[in-house]
Amino acid sequence: MNVEDLRKLFHYCNDKYFDGKLPEPKFRVSHSRTRLGTFSYQRVMGRRLNFGSFHLPSRTGGRDWVLSISDYYLMTPDQLEDVMTHEMIHFSIAYTGLKDSAPHGIVFRGMMDAINRKWGRHISVMTSTRGWKPRVEPKPQTYLVLGLQMRDGTYFLSSVNPKSAGELELRLNRIREVVAHKWVKTTDDYFRSFPRVRSLRGRRVTKEVYLSKMGK
C-alpha cells in the first residue's frame, strides 16, 4: 500500500459516499499497530487537531488536511474501504463545519449508520483487529522471567523489567518466605499478557506450569 493507492481509494469513496464533495487531502501511510487510520487538520494559527476533536467554523477556516492509513495489518479490500470511509466521515464533519457531541458523537454515528445501511458496509467506531495478521511478522519479544518458589508451597512467575533485576535480586536474598528463585530469559509468548514489573509481584501458577516454564 502506498500514497497513490490511498488517493485512488479516497476518490472512489468520495464519489460513492460523499457525492464527490470533499477536497483531496494529503495522504500518509503509517505503520501504527493501534490506529488503523487518522484524520487531522491544521488551523490557521498552525495547531494540528486530530480526527474531529474540534470543528472548523467554515470550509475556509482550516488547511492542511491529512489522512493517514496504517499498513501494519494485511487488510482485505473491504476492511481497507471501511477504515478509509471512517476517516472520511471525520473529514466531512470538519470540512462542513458541523458540530458534534464528541469525536464519535451523534453526527458521526448518524453518518456511519446511514452509510452502513445503504451500502452494506461494516464501519464501526472501534475496529477489533483480533485475528488480523501483521504485514510483517514481528520479531519475537524477549522476556526476563523471575520464578519464585514460596515456603508455603505456592509458585509465582513475573515478567521483570531488566533495569530492576539487580535490585530485586538483592531484595530476594533477604526474604525468608522465598525458598528458591530462578531467572530465565525466554521468547515464550505465554508471557505476553504479563505486566513488566519493577517490584516483587507476580502471577500465581501451578507447580506444573512453573516447572514447564522455568525448568527443574
Domain coordinates of the chain in residue numbers? 3-119, 143-214
Rounded Cα distance, 168 and 170, in Å? 5
Rounded Cα distance, 5 and 93, in Å? 24
Closest CA to 160 of 132, 188, 202, 124: 202
Closest CA to 26 of 49, 5, 45, 3: 3
Q: Please state whether beta strands 62-70 and 26-30 pair in parallel, antiparallel, or not at all (unpaired).
A: parallel
For residue 11, what pLDDT is reported? 98
Q: What are the residue ranges in the chain where pLDDT is below 50? A: 45-48, 51-62
Residue indicated by cell numbers 494529503 = 26
For residue 46, what pLDDT is reported? 46
The 3-state DSSP class for residue 182 equals: strand
CB atoms within 10 A of CB 167: 12
Q: How many residues does the chain have?
A: 216
Q: Output the nine-digit C-alpha cell for 17.
A: 459516499
Q: Output the nine-digit C-alpha cell for 1.
A: 500500500
Residue indicated by cell numbers 477536497 = 23
Nearest 5°: phi and psi at 157?
A: -125, 140
For residue 139, what pLDDT is reported? 80
For residue 57, what pLDDT is reported? 39
Name the E strands within 17-168: 26-30, 37-43, 48-50, 62-70, 143-150, 155-160
For residue 136, what pLDDT is reported? 85
Q: What is the CATH number of domain 3-119?
A: 3.30.2010
For residue 216, what pLDDT is reported? 66
Query: What's this model's pTM, rounded to 2 decimal places?
Result: 0.61
For residue 48, what pLDDT is reported? 47
**CA 168 centroid distance within chain:** 32
For residue 109, what pLDDT is reported? 97
For residue 38, what pLDDT is reported? 95
Q: Do 93 and 111 meet the contact criterion of CB atoms below 8 Å apart?
A: yes
Burial 13-24 (b: 16+ CB within 10 A, else e): bbeebbeeebee
**pLDDT tens column, 154-199:** 999 999 999 999 999 999 988 999 999 999 999 998 998 899 999 9
